Chains A and B, each alone.
Chain A
Amino acid sequence: MSDEILVKTEHLKKYFPVRKSGGGKAFVKAVDDVTLEIGRGETVGLVGESGSGKTTIAKMILGLLPPTENTIYIDGKNVWDRKNTKEIRKKVGAVFQDPASSLNPRSTVYRSLERPLLINGCSKGEAETLIRETAAKVNLGKELLERFPYELSGGQQQRVSIARAIMLRPRLLVLDEPTSALDVSVQAQTLNELLNLQQEYGMSYLFITHNLSVVRYMSDRICVMYGGKVMESGKMADVYENCVHPYTFGLMSSVPPLHPRQRDRKKYLLTGDMPSLIDAPEGCRFCTRCKFRQPVCESQEPAMKDMGDGHFAACHFAGEIEF
């Protein structure tokens, strides 16, 4: 694995067995053949709606859910190989969506921050130094260290969450909707702090969200998922300005605009709901809702088309459609 790549996974799959109502077994193909790379110091935005598989991928990277097929490599080491567990643990941190349920209500902030250090070999003294240092870096006042989560605001709770995640100075931070539950002004503060921390510690971020404006602000590259598969991926600017996949376009035009001027933008509204992941269509995952579908879309799954400069799209007609 090249020196520049921190996280790599190829043809990753996660299938959940489920019993069909008529009897017999079927699989929910939550993640179906996903190839993903995250470079050092880079932020990759993982975008998709509920059921797209983005959270499942995060769980596999974090060691919470074992993959069905293939695996994930961090710094060249297999995440799911038992002998690497201790080492990998120090390299990955996670921040979740709901600040309130991210912290143990029975632990003070200090204890919550101390735990990851103590488990991973730090002495109490070393831990104290690290905690004070990290708290300062995330703008968490000293007086908050002895408080309980319920005494803190949502923004403060999220800061504690972030502090805890970076306690072991990880190389990769997985953020799953970290600011979705926060107010606009608090979100701005949190995002800025995340950017500062990234610069200071050289971390890579896997930023999972459905909020396209936030992902545009934070990401270097973006990966758009739907129904367990990657629809389009590439540099943020490329995908944002020249998206080629109908789903990406649908997603972008569905996102509420940043200014009333854009109200009359060309909209491509997606009808219907995401199809069940149990009886996934034969061809393209998206074809049941795609305005531009052709017979080939229903029978054949599209291969990843290389649009140049790291921009890929899984569509038979990528680059040919006029939006």
Chain B
Amino acid sequence: MKEKLKAIAKNRMFLVGFLLFFTVVVVAIFAPYIAPHTYDEQNLAMKLAAPSAEYPFGTDQYGRCIFSRVIFGSRIALNVGLTAVIIETLIGVTLGILAGYYGKAVDKVILFVTDATWSIPPIVLAMAIVLMLGPSSQNVAISIAVVSWAQFTKIVRAKVQSLKNLSYIEAARIYGESDTNIILRYILPNLTSTIVILATLALPSAILSTTSMGFLGLGAQQPQPDWGMILSEGIKYIGKAPWISIVPGLAIVWTVLGFNLAGEGVKELLDPRLKV
């Protein structure tokens, strides 16, 4: 255990990433205590005001505090991102296991569906789903999940195929382990590192997709402070009040970078241990 902690401490990438995303998580949890105002508090007298003591990052066209909106916006970003990743992990891993373990017809069908999903441009598919279901953060999460599970399936399927032939699985069959048990007790536990790595790398991309969808107005609707939407609205005022777009933009970069680095760090930590 000590060695693992030492390894973590030495991994600068992971530490920086972890710090970045940890702040985002803290901000999201304690948003009401950190934000000086609520996200929908309008002060029309102060609209498009420059950053000041009262409004650290200025106000938007309705006099709403950008700082507060961005802080509350972290909740939406994380929420949607996490939901999307959870859904895509569940779908992707399940299908990957079934395809890899049972092979033959099951594999062919799943592979076909996976490849079909994979080949449609993600944004187009996501937009289509949201437009069908109606714009909301939930539906954005669903559409992101639908568009991204394919990579989980492919990688998990490959891993299951290689695990399936190991002697300890054969031994389990010999002493009578059922297929279900083999999947749950022998294969799944040995997939955890793979799944963790895939999930931590899927999170930043999910958050980025969330903000893209928000930018297109397909996510959380007003007055919800979706980062992408704030950014897109701010473009009209980019000359007069650039902070409206810049601040959420920076928040997006901060979050995505944090998760990316942390994810790479997790991969590095888990990979060498996999060889043990």
CB neighbors of B among A84-106 (8 A): 85-86, 89, 92-94, 96-98, 101-106
A1 touches B (CB below 8 Å): no
Type the 1/0 row for A113-138, where 1 means its CB is closer than 8 Å to any CB of B.
00110011000000000000000000
Instruction: Return the chain A residue nearest B188 by Cβ.
Output: A106
Residues of A within 8 A of B173 (CB): 63-64
B171-192 Cβ-contact flags toward A at 8 Å (1 or 0): 1111111000000011001100
Q: Which of A63, A64, A104, A119 has the most C-beta atoms of chain B within 10 angstroms of its own C-beta?
A: A104
Q: Decide if the interface of chain B is mainly helix, strand, loop or mixed.
A: helix
Task: Tell me whether A115 and B177 are in contact in the complex, defined as CB-CB below 8 angstroms, given that A101-B168, A102-B168 are known contacts.
Answer: yes
A102 near B190: Cβ-Cβ < 8 Å = no
Q: Are B190 and A94 in contact (CB under 8 A)?
A: no
Within 8 A of A (CB), among B135-157: none
Do the beta carbons of A94 and B177 come within 8 Å of each other? no
Q: Which of A64, A86, A101 has the most CB of B within 10 A?
A: A101
| Interface contact A98-B174, CB-CB below 8 Å | no
| Closest A residue to B172 using CB positions | A115
Cβ of B170 and Cβ of A96 under 8 Å apart? yes
> What's the least CB distance linking A150 to chain B, in Å?
5
Query: Which residue of chain B has the shortest Cβ distance to A168 in the bound complex?
Result: B175
Chain A min CB distance to B117 (Å): 29
CB < 8 Å: which of A63, A89, A164, A168 contacts B171? A164
- Asked if A119 and B168 sit within 8 Å, CB to CB, the answer is no
Residue of A at shortest CB range from B165? Answer: A101
- Asked whether any CB of chain B lies closer than 8 Å to the CB of A62, the reply is yes
A62, A85, A104, A120: the one within 8 Å of B168 (CB): A104
B222 in the interface (beta carbon within 8 A): no
B contact residues, total (Cβ < 8 Å): 16
Contact B167 A116 (CB under 8 A): no
CB distance from B164 to the nearest CB of A (A): 12
Contact B175 A115 (CB under 8 A): yes
Inter-chain contact A119/B167, CB cutoff 8 Å: no
Closest chain-A Cβ to B235's Cβ sits at a distance in Å of: 51
- Measured CB to CB, the closest approach of chain B to A84, in angstroms, equals 13
Contacts known (A96-B171, A105-B190, A150-B276); A120 close to B166, Cβ less than 8 A: no
B175 proximity list for chain A (CB < 8 A): 89, 93, 115-116, 119-120, 164, 167-168
- Contact between chains at B174 and A103 (CB < 8 Å): no
**Nearest chain B residue, comparing its CB with the CB of A117:** B175
Residues of B contacting A115 in the complex (Cβ-Cβ under 8 angstroms): 172, 175, 177, 185
Which residues on the A side are within 8 Å of B166 (C-beta)?
Answer: 101
Taking a contact as CB atoms closer than 8 A, the residue among B167, B186, B276 that contacts A96 in the complex is B167
**CB-nearest residue of chain A to B190:** A106
Taking the closest CB of chain B, its distance from the CB of A323, in whole angstroms, is 38
- Beta-carbon contact of A63 and B190 below 8 Å: no
A-B contact pairs, 26 of them (CB 8 A): A62-B170, A62-B174, A63-B173, A64-B170, A86-B176, A92-B174, A93-B174, A93-B175, A94-B170, A94-B171, A94-B174, A96-B170, A101-B166, A101-B168, A102-B167, A104-B172, A104-B186, A106-B186, A115-B172, A115-B175, A115-B177, A115-B185, A119-B175, A119-B176, A120-B175, A164-B175
Given contacts A101-B167, A115-B172, A116-B176, 12 further A-B contacts (CB under 8 A): A62-B170, A63-B173, A89-B174, A94-B171, A96-B167, A101-B168, A102-B167, A102-B171, A104-B190, A119-B175, A120-B176, A164-B171
